[in-house]
């Protein structure tokens, strides 16, 4: 059963200049997730991620546990599914 969801997430904290997008792309691909990640001008990171909810949760947990990353807060909301085949950095 394919229970895919799509989330729009903004991560706040020490999330730029610490390998956040690199880790996100590699882990998301490993988990079979699709979507994208990009830095925002205010120092936060924006992500749209699509896949099974437990795998999205695993991705976020993985990012929270990186050595130099400090996620102080995140805003997440559900979105309609999109047709895409990769996870990439914008």
**Any idea what the Cα angle at residue 26 is, between residues 57 and 62, rounded to 5°?**
35
3, 6, 7, 21: the catalytic one is 21
Please give the average per-residue pLDDT across 79-90, as a whole number. Answer: 96
Q: What is the pLDDT of residue 28?
A: 98
Three-class SS of residue 51? strand
Q: Is 73 a catalytic residue?
A: no
6, 7, 26, 39: the catalytic one is 39
Q: Give pTM, 2 decimals.
A: 0.95
- What does the CA dihedral 65, 71, 76, 80 come to, rounded to 10 degrees? -60
Q: Is 6 a catalytic residue?
A: no
Q: What is the pLDDT of residue 47?
A: 98
Q: What is the pLDDT of residue 11?
A: 98
Q: What domains lie within the chain, and their CATH numbers?
A: 4-80 (3.30.70.100)
Quick one: which of 13, 24, 29 has its CA closest to 63? 24
* pLDDT, tens digit (0-9, with 9 covering 90-100), for 60-84: 999 999 999 999 999 999 999 999 9
Q: What is the pLDDT of residue 1?
A: 46
Whether 6 contacts 35, CB under 8 Å: yes
């Amino acid at each position: 059963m394919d229970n895919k969801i799509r989330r729009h997430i903004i991560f706040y904290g020490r999330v730029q200049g610490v390998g956040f997008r690199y880790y996100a792309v590699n882990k998301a691909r490993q988990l079979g997730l699709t979507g994208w990640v990009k830095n925002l001008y205010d120092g936060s990171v924006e992500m749209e991620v699509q896949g099974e909810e437990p795998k999205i949760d695993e991705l976020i947990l993985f990012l929270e546990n990186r050595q130099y990353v400090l996620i102080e807060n995140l805003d997440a909301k559900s979105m309609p599914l999109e047709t895409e085949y990769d996870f990439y950095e914008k």
